[in-house]
Structure formats: structure tokens, C-alpha cells
A and B are shown apart, each in its own frame.
Chain A
């Protein structure tokens, strides 16, 4: 029973001392310690959130860069495509022009040839006409060298004229 009987004196001293210590420790130890801990935690929290924010910003920047890069790439592709197209177009145009020129030249040449041909044919015809006239003259001259033949011919002409 001795052990489980609380002594009045000890209860008194315990309560007085404990409450005094509670007061002193609260004032001089716990409050400053808790405040310092909270402050430090807040500063760590702030630093962490700032770091997080910086990270996010970095990510934003990186995304922005990526976007710019992608845009640039697209632009390049577009320019390249356009250039290719323009080149193709130019080649096509040049080819067409060359073809046209060739066709035109061929047509010109053909026309020239035709003209030449016609001229040549006309000349041949003229020459043939002249030749035949000459031949006819020579033949006539030879034929008409005898007076009988001249007579006959004149007869013929007269016949023809009377008929008309």
C-alpha cells in the first residue's frame, strides 16, 4: 500500500515545480523553438516552391523553345517545299518554253521548207514551161521549115477558126 499511496508533499512540489517549468519552458524554450522550426520549414517550403516554379518556368521555356523549333522546322520544310516547287515549276516552264520554241522552230522550218518547195516546184514548172516552149519552138521551127507543113498547119488553124 505504501507504494500506491501518493504523498501530499510530493504532489505539491510536483505540481508547483511542473507548472513553473511548463511556464518557463513555454516562454523561453518551446515558443522560440517552435517558431524557429516553423520559420525554417516555411523558408524551406518557399525555397522548394520557388524551385518548383523555376522548374515549371524552365519547362515552359523549353516547351516554348521546342515550339519555336518546331515552327522553324515547319517553316524550313515549307520553304524547301516551295523552293522545290518553284524549281520544278521553273524547269517545267523552261521545258515547256523549249518545247514550244522547238515546235515553233520546227513549224517555221516546215513552212520555210514548204515555201522553198513551192518556189522550187514553181521554178521547175516555169523551167519546164520554158523548156517545152523552147522544145516546141525548135520542133515548130523544124516542122515549119518545109512549106507543106506550114500549109497544113495554117489549114488546121483556119479550120479551127471557122468552126468557132
Chain B
């Protein structure tokens, strides 16, 4: 068999695979179009997105407080007001909730799309989950810190001995290895983002919990903080690498400077997208696997779905740790690039070989 026919066969296989996938996708959407049936995409998006009540299960919801800033006026009320006794969304006090967003309502209770000046600072499911996770973080690490006081100079015990190697790993293999001698001042931030992301990744895997680290607002905030710290700790050689890259002729500056300036922002942007996409994708895959049961409306699919979902869950446990590590590692690399005294140009000043 020659190579031409081989590649032709490969192409055919790909087409076959593709058509199979699209058929199953159509099959998934088919019942949704009939109305009233199961809509997996709606269900999945609803689960990975934010909302104003915390629904642990059907009928077991925690109604969270709504805080609205409407043209300078603050409105605080329970989100229970948005739902009637049949758990249907209703307008309240001139506001209405739709797909997790609060809009100003008109007289018919329909949202006004182009209403200006309404800002939603509600304690949503994600915010509540955020509070829960940081409470957990504070309790655990304050307990550990106290252990170090009471158990000073001795070998670590219990929870302390579980987290100590991780803290040392963050210090030695993430901070020291990538930042260099000035690592100490970044340690609190690196440790906090590492454990914040890891804890929230794991909490997000629990049934009924929020998808906090899979929310772009959260990952954006984290990435912006990394960017701000990078820019504020940047030394002269960091800026000189951007505005006068060594070894590049001066007449290339009109190309180099915009590229380097864009480079400043693409790095935190990639951090934001990477964490968001990895965590959300994991949630979507697990939810899709469970949706299969309802799509095929067959009990026989159950064990298969569960088996795959269990596998995915284990994978997500790993991904949760991995993404926390990657976010922290890359942040450390960016800090390292900002504080490094450049004596070589091979790594273009970022220490990560980009």
C-alpha cells in the first residue's frame, strides 16, 4: 500500500468519525426541538453558569440575597422574591431575573434590554461558594499556622504534615526556581492563588456546588492580579526588553514595541482562558455524560455513563491540582521575568523560553 492511498484511508476514517459525532449531536438536540423535552445544552449551561439561588437539588434551594445598584440607589432583597410557589421566575419590585441575569422589568414583567445604570452585586451562588471556600482556606491555614507555633521546631503532624510538602513545593519548585533570590515577597500571593484555585477546583467537583474557577469573572480577576503584580514589580530591564529589545535593530521598533506590549496582556489572558476553559470543560463533559442517560431515556446507558463520569471525576481531581499548579507556575514565571536582571537574551526576558 503506498502512502497516497494510506492518507486517503485516513481521510475517510476522519470523515466517518466526524459524521458519527455530528449524528450523535443531532440526536442530542432532536428531543429539545420538540419542546418540553430534555435540553442537555440548556441544562449544562445552567449548571456551569451563575445564578441567584443555590439549588442543591430540586426543591432544596437556598435563596441568596440580591444586591442591586440602580442609578445610585441600593436595593437589597432575597432572591426568593423572584420565584413564585411553582418555582417560576416572576418580576419583583420592577426587576426580573432571566438566565441568571437581573434586568429592569417593564409593566408586563418583561426585561428591558437596553436599560442603563443597573449593576448587580448580588451574593450569587458563585459568590456564596467563594465565601465558603475562603472560609475553609482561612480556617485550615490558620490552624496549620497555629500548629507551627505550638509544635515549634518539631516534625509536622496531621494536617500540617499534609500541607507542608505542598507549601515547600510551591516555595522551592515554583517560586525559588522561577523568580530567583527575590522570591520571598511573592510567596504569600503564590500560595494564596495556588490553594485558592485548588480548593475551588475541588469544591466545584462536589455535587450541587458552584463552578467558581470555571467562571471567567473569577479567572479574569486572578489573571488581572497577576498582571498588576508583574507590572508593579517590573524592573528597568523588563521595560527595556519591551521598548528596546536587545539585539533587535532600531528600525524594527514599530513592529517590536506593539508585539511586546501585546505580549504583556496575552500572558494573563492565557492564564484566564486556560483555567476557565479547563474547569468548565470538565464540568461540561461530566454533565454531558449524565445527559446521555436522559437523551437515550434508557437505564442501560446508566452504568456506562456513571463509569465514564467516575473516570472523568478522577481526571478532574487531577486537572484541578494541575491547573492550580500551572496558574501558580506561570504567575511565578511572569514575576521572575519582571524582576530578573537580564544578562542573556536567549529567553527573551521571560524565563520561560517563549
Contacts and interface: CB of A to CB of B under 8 A. Distances in A.
Co-assembled chains A and B = yes
Contact of B218 (A14, A39, A43): A14
B99 interface: yes
Contact of B126 (A8, A10, A37, A39): A10
A32 B149 contact: yes
B196 A18 contact: yes
Binding site of A, secondary structure by majority: helix, strand, loop or mixed? Answer: helix
B122 interface: yes
A4 B168 CA distance: 35
A26 interface: yes
A119 B130 CA distance: 146
Interface in A1-31: 2-15, 17-18, 20-22, 24-26, 28-31
A33 B141 contact: yes
Given A6-B220, A12-B121, A13-B121, A25 B137 contact: yes
A34 B349 CA distance: 29
Contacts of B188: 22, 25-26, 30-31
Contact of A10 (B124, B137, B189): B124
Given A17-B134, A24-B138, A25-B191, A11 B220 contact: yes
B187 interface: yes
Interface in A27-83: 28-34, 36-37, 39-40, 43
B49 interface: yes
Given A4-B216, A10-B126, A25-B188, A34 B221 contact: no
Interface in B170-218: 171, 184, 187-189, 191-192, 196, 215-218
B260 interface: no
A43 B142 CA distance: 23
Contact of A30 (B124, B187, B196): B187
A22 B215 contact: no
A14 B130 contact: yes
A17 B130 contact: yes
Interface string B122-141: 11101100110010011001
Interface residues of A, number: 34
Interface in A96-137: none
B164 A9 contact: no
Contacts of A40: 153
A21 B138 contact: yes
Nearest to B191: A30
B41 to A, nearest CB: 11
Interface string B72-116: 000000000000000000000000000110000000000000000
B234 interface: no
B120 A29 contact: no
Given A15-B221, A34-B184, A37-B167, 10 more contacts: A4-B276, A6-B220, A8-B119, A10-B127, A13-B130, A14-B217, A28-B138, A30-B145, A33-B145, A33-B167
Interface of B: 45, 48-50, 67, 99-100, 119-124, 126-127, 130-131, 134, 137-138, 141-142, 144-145, 148-149, 152-153, 164, 167-168, 171, 184, 187-189, 191-192, 196, 215-218, 220-222, 225, 276, 280
23 contacts: A2-B45, A2-B49, A3-B49, A7-B215, A9-B120, A10-B215, A14-B218, A17-B130, A17-B131, A18-B222, A21-B137, A22-B192, A25-B138, A25-B141, A26-B188, A26-B192, A28-B138, A29-B144, A30-B191, A33-B141, A37-B148, A37-B167, A40-B153
